[in-house]
Chain A
Amino acid sequence: MNLWLVAAAALLVAVIPCVLVAARGDVVDALVGLETATTVVTLVLLLLSVGFDRPPYADVALVTVGLAFAGGMVFVRYLERWR
């Protein structure tokens, strides 16, 4: 276990509050929790890629960050219309 993996494990703890918010709050709170969680997970994936010394795995983090934005915008669009 190296420094990067330790940091990834510590960073993963930050997902717990986001999951709690998404589970307990209303739909807008849940979306905010989801957005925060995707940011954290993106960084965790990047750190895991460095920690395991597998540079191609960083592509997963790169794809995640793009999809998180697209997914978030889709949720926002429907949230605005659906009341």
Chain B
Amino acid sequence: MMVRAGAIAAGAVPIAVPLTGRRTAEVILLSAGVAAELLFALGVLLARDAFDRLHFSAAAGVVGPIPICAAVVVGAGLSATGVKALLIAGVLLVMNPILTHATARAARTRRFGEVRARRSEQVERS
């Protein structure tokens, strides 16, 4: 069987390969990332309202991608794929909180008519 150059570095090897340290790290990071994403997606489904769902959605955009992109970097090194994985993780880390915040503002404006807390709401003030 012919194996293309760079195939192993990119991680394109069958599952039944002896576990090296790098391979073990890939498996652990990938499993953690996939499990986190599945858990947060389930949280989005089971949460009570949009504000609760947003907590899980925000976590899915930060907690899951970090180990998955780290696994890609461990597997592919700082090749084109590895750098793109880092870029994707960076963009998600920066943009996802902004989008979550904007969505929460829009949801609050739709429900209460304004973003600011009303007098009847108990809000912790500094």
**A interface, how many residues as a size bin?**
35 or more
**B interface, how many residues as a size bin?**
35 or more
- Checking B4, B14, B60 against A39 with a beta-carbon cut-off of 8 angstroms, the contacting residue is B60
* Interface residue ranges of B66-125 to A (CB < 8 Å): 68-69, 72, 75-76, 79-81, 84-85, 87-88, 91-92, 95-96, 98-100, 102-103, 105-107, 109-110
Chain A contacts for B7, CB-based, 8 A: 53
Residue of B nearest to A7 (CB): B30
Q: How far is the CB of B100 from chain A (nearest CB, A)?
A: 8
In contact, A39 and B88 (Cβ under 8 angstroms): no
| Dominant secondary structure of chain B at its interface with chain A | helix
Q: How far is the CB of A26 from chain B (nearest CB, A)?
A: 8
- Checking A6, A7, A16, A61 against B84 with a beta-carbon cut-off of 8 angstroms, the contacting residue is A61
Q: How far is the CB of A9 from chain B (nearest CB, A)?
A: 10
Write out, one digit per residue, whether chain A residues 34-61 have a CB within 8 A of any chain B CB (1) or not (0).
0110011011001101111101101101
In contact, A21 and B10 (Cβ under 8 angstroms): no
* Interface residue ranges of A59-79 to B (CB < 8 Å): 59, 61-62, 65-66, 69, 72-73, 76-77, 79
A33 to B102, CA, bound (A): 15
| Dominant secondary structure of chain A at its interface with chain B | helix
Chain B contacts for A32, CB-based, 8 A: 44, 50, 53-54, 57, 103
Interface residues of chain A, those whose CB is within 8 Å of chain B, are 1-4, 6-7, 10-11, 13-18, 20-21, 25-26, 28-29, 31-33, 35-36, 39-40, 42-43, 46-47, 49-53, 55-56, 58-59, 61-62, 65-66, 69, 72-73, 76-77, 79-80, 83
Given A13-B38, A29-B53, A69-B98, 13 new contacts (CB under 8 A): A3-B30, A14-B41, A32-B54, A35-B100, A35-B103, A36-B40, A43-B68, A46-B72, A51-B11, A55-B79, A58-B88, A69-B99, A83-B110
